[in-house]
Structure 1
């Protein structure tokens, strides 16, 4: 027998080398030894959704200085809202800086994953692009493939018969696409559609925009779009503390948003009035002024936030341009030369762009077979449920980033959702009022907490990895009753929010029931606090032999580790971790009291 908590070798497979996969790899490398990690990435570089998304106008609609890992401040973003290529370079630079490429196996697809209860390992069937298949087994499987990774084509009768140029925003070709002077149809008014329209409207001959319903257009989430000057860039580089203050100011405003998400709140009502008037004011000088189409085509009838609000910079102005026609309602069918709307009117087109997003059903794109042989694709065919958006009953040693009930809609996180990042709120771009104070630097001694859900999810997974590595655990998976009770709790609380309103949204858990939303029933910070510690009683933990064998031969790790102090507990003052949640929270989030009156989104 060896000493207590003797580390055993840990072999981990991570599917995807986007933001979440890189975050997991960085944190694993930083804290662990004696492991093997492989990031299987189907593309030829890191960056996830930012590798595939290259349509005209594609950009991050969140302040670029905050579109980073919380600890990895970047001073040289060239503009307030960085373009797709620059964002992808950020992840490349991050991976290079921390040596994460050594874990990546590019051009590799996972064809199948199956749990073997006899060995307590995951068997993966893998294939490189154009190469042979092979099998490999792992102790722990992390699915970081991302929710927004598989383009979703609209279900339009006859779409495959369209004889013009057919494009999808999430599968834009690498070769140049010539649309100058053409009559282009655009389906969709989410983030992609709202970026594509202004980018193309001035160069094409005509555009016909098809939408099922209008969407709330908030304007820039932060400062107006612009490039930074050389003086500003120099200031960001030379005064990192000022840049940190800028980032924290923006993040504080984002984290003040959740009150708007309560459907009967005064904040929701006031914001709805304000946005309605703002949209009508924008239309006042256009061809839609005082027309019946203004309300029907531009002002949503559902609550703000039911569907993802978007900044929509230049979108309404482009919709009102002379060469743009707006068609509201379901599409009847596609023909060889265009689209027929629900009223029977034909719209001849040279090209059709589907900005219709991704398959957000949470269903894996390949078979994942659990302990009882069930396929996760089938289990999640109608409605996906998971343990705290992280794990699934009967699928041992398995974690997923951004699973069902993830806090997509309620706070800040860095995610592979990329341009679809949900940064809420209608924020004034002005600095905080004079005399207001930002939070000071965190003073953390022996414990830490991150306020980015992506990072918090990686931390949670690694806590279980630590238990697996230092105890004689065979497998762990959440209990079905724990997931069922959480599901009931979440559905009850969701009904008090705007996400239960009737709207077409990728937040919805079930297309047949628009009142169901697959979201966390609270704020982003609420979610981070919920997963900050492990609830072992919610898990089915199985051991290899006697569960106490991890105690070893009676020697502590401190006694045999030459880098440890045998009398580490002797000190001049008590700087130990506080033992109550309240005291730990106040120590972690300690700093100058922020003036929250300056954060009101109204």
Structure 2
């Protein structure tokens, strides 16, 4: 099997890895089922179940600190991740040079990839880092001039995650939201933007978690939107939209917040937005427009009630 790698990335261990190791068997690579005995024990002892849930949650939420440049948990995380990746590539240690990024962890989204590094080190896998130049009926041709015959090709790239993509959404005076978001996405709390009344995002600009639980963030966002909808349904109100000033202030707050984080390091990341036509170096320094400016616990507090 030939495995083509277009860019280097950090391959991290799973959240709550120790708890996973205790429950998985040989060859499961992190996918496991809770035993009937364990589920029955938790049913009989709800406090034990709550302690387990909190242990998993703490491992997930506690990881947030590593994104802040001045936090002690951020210092040394790169060395730790590099060591773990090398350990998992023990069967083919030469691969580490082709996989280890130069940017800090969390600048791009972490890839847990259970079993991925171990699979790359197998004797029947060839890791190819030369860019693909073209594909014909029988071969993949890379920029180094090599022709490699193939039986089948599986593509694992090409997703368009930008907030300017997708079907058109029109607001006042025929403004298209996709055009408004193409160069400089602005929103209020990642939920909505001015000139687009009665419109709400589920994970709009600056609402995705960099570290923490995305599920609790989605729940908080939907609960917030539900409060607005309840007001619309019971009050003497026909439309609602944020004013321009709070949209501008939240956007400015995000820009200032991310200066203190690893998300603004030089890396190509879908967390960032840059106008089309820029160089790779300029796109590396694009605005962080996907991530929420805080932890997922912070989201719960921010979305608790409508202001």
Q: 2:130·2:144 contact (CA, 8 Å) conserved in 1?
A: no
When Rg is computed on C-alpha atoms for both structures, the one with the higher figure is 1
**Alignment-derived partner of residue 527 in structure 1:** 299
Task: Give the 5 Å matches for 1:314-329.
Answer: 314-329=115-130
- How far does the alpha carbon of each residue in 1:512-531 deviate from its partner, in whole angstroms, 9 at most, with x for none? 42232221122112222222
Pairing partner for 1:309 from 110, 126, 130: 110
- How far does the alpha carbon of each residue in 1:449-471 deviate from its partner, in whole angstroms, 9 at most, with x for none? xxx21111111111111221232
Larger helix percent: 2
Q: 1:361·1:384 contact (CA, 8 Å) conserved in 2?
A: no
Q: 1:368·1:377 contact (CA, 8 Å) conserved in 2?
A: yes
CA drift at 1:329: 4.8
Q: 2:209·2:295 contact (CA, 8 Å) conserved in 1?
A: no
**SS at 2:148 equivalent:** strand
CA drift at 1:360: 0.9
Larger strand percent: 1
CA drift at 1:382: 3.0
- How far does the alpha carbon of each residue in 1:15-34 deviate from its partner, in whole angstroms, 9 at most, with x for none? xxxxxxxxxxxxxxxxxxxx
Task: Give the 5 Å matches for 1:495-534.
Answer: 495-510=259-274, 512=278, 513-515=283-285, 516-518=287-289, 519-534=291-306
CA drift at 1:218: 1.9
Q: 1:331·1:342 contact (CA, 8 Å) conserved in 2?
A: yes
CA drift at 1:305: 0.8
**SS at 1:347 equivalent:** strand
Query: TM-score, normalised to structure 2's length?
Result: 0.86
Q: 2:192·2:241 contact (CA, 8 Å) conserved in 1?
A: yes
Moved more, 379-388 or 488-497: 379-388
**Alignment-derived partner of residue 26 in structure 2:** none
Structure 1 unaligned spans of 5+: 1-206, 415-451, 536-602
**Alignment-derived partner of residue 492 in structure 1:** 256
**Alignment-derived partner of residue 15 in structure 2:** 221
**SS at 2:284 equivalent:** coil
Task: Give the 5 Å matches for 1:67-146.
Answer: none
CA drift at 1:406: 0.8
- How far does the alpha carbon of each residue in 1:263-310 deviate from its partner, in whole angstroms, 9 at most, with x for none? 3443223221111112223333x2x33x3x422x22221111111212
**Alignment-derived partner of residue 192 in structure 2:** 391
**SS at 1:352 equivalent:** coil
- How far does the alpha carbon of each residue in 1:24-80 deviate from its partner, in whole angstroms, 9 at most, with x for none? xxxxxxxxxxxxxxxxxxxxxxxxxxxxxxxxxxxxxxxxxxxxxxxxxxxxxxxxx
CA drift at 1:357: 5.9
CA drift at 1:494: 0.9
**SS at 2:269 equivalent:** coil
Q: 1:364·1:376 contact (CA, 8 Å) conserved in 2?
A: no
Moved more, 502-511 or 397-406: 502-511
**Alignment-derived partner of residue 24 in structure 2:** none
CA distance in 2, matches of 1:345, 1:390: 49
Pairing partner for 1:459 from 217, 220, 223: 223
Pairing partner for 1:373 from 155, 174, 180: 174
CA distance in 1, matches of 2:271, 2:139: 30
Structure 2 unaligned spans of 5+: 22-29
CA change 1:236–1:341 in 2 (3 A) is: farther
**Alignment-derived partner of residue 331 in structure 1:** 132
Q: How many residues align?
A: 287
Moved more, 452-461 or 354-363: 354-363
